Amino acid sequence: MTGSPEVLRMNAGELIRFCSAIFQKLGLSESEATTTAQVLVAADMRGIPSHGVGRLRRYVNGLKTQQMLSNPKQRVLRESASTIVVDAGGGMGPPVSEFVMRKVIEKAEKTHAAFGCVRNSNHFGIAGYYAMQALEHDMIGIAMTNTAALGVPTFGRQVMFGTNPLAFCAPADKHHAFVLDMSTTVVTRGKLEVCDREGRSLSAGWAVDKDGLHAQDPKGILDDMLARRGGGILPLGGAGTEQSGFKGYGLAVMVDILCAVLCGAPFGPEVYGTPESSARVSHFFGALKIDGFSDPQSFRSNMDRMLEGLRNTPLAKGQERVWFAGEQEFENQKKAEKDGVPLSLNTTAILAALGKEYGVEIPNITSQSKGERP
* Structure confidence at residue 6 (pLDDT): 85
pLDDT in tens, 123-154: 999 999 999 999 999 999 999 999 999 999 99
pTM reported for the whole predicted model: 0.92
* Structure confidence at residue 373 (pLDDT): 64
* Structure confidence at residue 370 (pLDDT): 72
pLDDT in tens, 52-85: 999 999 999 999 999 999 999 999 999 999 999 9
The DSSP call for residue 342 is E
Specify whether the CB–CB gap between 215 and 208 falls below 8 A: yes
pLDDT in tens, 166-175: 999 999 999 9
Q: Across the strands, what pairs with 118?
A: 86, 283
Q: Across the strands, what pairs with 178?
A: 170
> What is the average pLDDT score of the chain?
93
User: Cα separation of 244 and 184, whole Å?
Assistant: 12
Query: Which domains does the chain carry?
Result: 6-293+325-370 (3.30.1370.60)
Mean pLDDT of 164-185: 97
Specify whether the CB–CB gap between 62 and 343 falls below 8 A: no
* Strands ordered across the beta sheet of 83-87: 75-79, 83-87, 113-121, 281-289, 139-145, 166-170, 178-182
User: Cα separation of 352 and 288, whole Å?
Assistant: 42
Specify whether the CB–CB gap between 154 and 241 falls below 8 A: yes
What are phi and psi for residue 231, nearest 5 degrees?
90, 160
User: Cα separation of 21 and 362, whole Å?
Assistant: 10
- Selected residue with higher pLDDT from 323 and 188: 323
Residues whose CB falls within 8 Å of the CB of residue 247, separated by 6 or more in sequence, listed in order: 235, 236, 237
Q: Is the pLDDT of residue 206 over 90?
A: yes
Share of the chain above pLDDT 90, in %: 83
Q: Is the pLDDT of residue 225 over 90?
A: no
- Selected residue with higher pLDDT from 225 and 374: 225
User: Cα separation of 263 and 75, whole Å?
Assistant: 13
